[in-house]
């Protein structure tokens, strides 16, 4: 009988360690070596179709704002480029008075045999030739001819500007 009593006491002592199919109401969980891993709950996941629609609307509004900002940036860059081109064109365009002054300067350089400086002055006037009056264009052609003749060693001949022919 001792053996029966011993087995019964042993079974009672070990019964909490053996799993049981019944729901246990113990409020203290069994200690474990590692704490249970819990995934953080997503903060902004929609919980209903209404909140999903709200999220879509907010995303569409944000996309619209981003596109608007990008279009503004492109428009601003194009405007700045246009202003820069206009300023460069205005700076590059030569007035008739400036052209006359440079032609006179080129003729002085030719007389002084400073052909490289004369060529530089004529090149600047030639860059604006199509925007200059016909009379100045004719003077430019005469000055270029005089420079070419002087470089060739034919002496200074300035056709149409009072030089000897």
pLDDT digits (tens, 9 = 90+) for 8-31: 556 556 555 555 555 555 555 555
> What's the whole-number average pLDDT of the chain?
74
Domains held by the chain: number = 2
Q: First and final CA of the chain: distance in angstroms?
A: 154
Task: Find the domain containing 58 and state its range.
Answer: 51-92
Task: Specify the 3-state DSSP secondary structure of 115.
Answer: helix
Give the residue with greater pLDDT, 78 vs 102: 102
From residue 60, give the alpha-carbon distance in Å to each of 47, 50, 65, 74.
19, 15, 9, 21
Q: pTM for this structure?
A: 0.40
Inter-residue contact 104 to 142 (CB < 8 Å): no
Are residue 72 and residue 88 in the same domain, yes or no? yes
User: Do 124 and 110 fall into the same domain?
Assistant: yes
158 confidence band (pLDDT: 50, 70, 90): low
Residue 75 lies in a domain: yes
Q: Specify whether the CB–CB gap between 140 and 103 falls below 8 A.
A: yes
In this predicted structure, the answer to whether residue 165 has a pLDDT above a threshold of 50 is: no
């Amino acid at each position: 009988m001792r053996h029966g009593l011993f087995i019964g006491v042993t079974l009672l002592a070990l019964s909490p360690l053996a799993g049981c199919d019944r729901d246990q109401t113990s409020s203290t969980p069994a200690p474990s070596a590692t704490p249970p891993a819990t995934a953080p709950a997503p903060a902004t996941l929609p919980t209903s179709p209404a909140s999903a629609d709200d999220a879509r609307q907010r995303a569409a509004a944000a996309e619209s704002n981003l596109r608007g900002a990008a279009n503004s940036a492109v428009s601003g860059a194009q405007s700045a480029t246009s202003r820069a081109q206009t300023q460069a064109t205005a700076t590059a365009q030569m007035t008739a008075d400036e052209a006359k002054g440079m032609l006179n300067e080129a003729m002085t350089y030719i007389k002084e045999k400073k052909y490289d400086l004369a060529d530089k002055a004529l090149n600047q006037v030639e860059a604006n030739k199509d925007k200059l009056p016909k009379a100045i264009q004719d003077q430019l052609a005469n000055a270029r001819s005089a420079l070419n003749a002087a470089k060739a060693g034919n002496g200074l001949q300035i056709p149409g500007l009072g030089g000897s022919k």
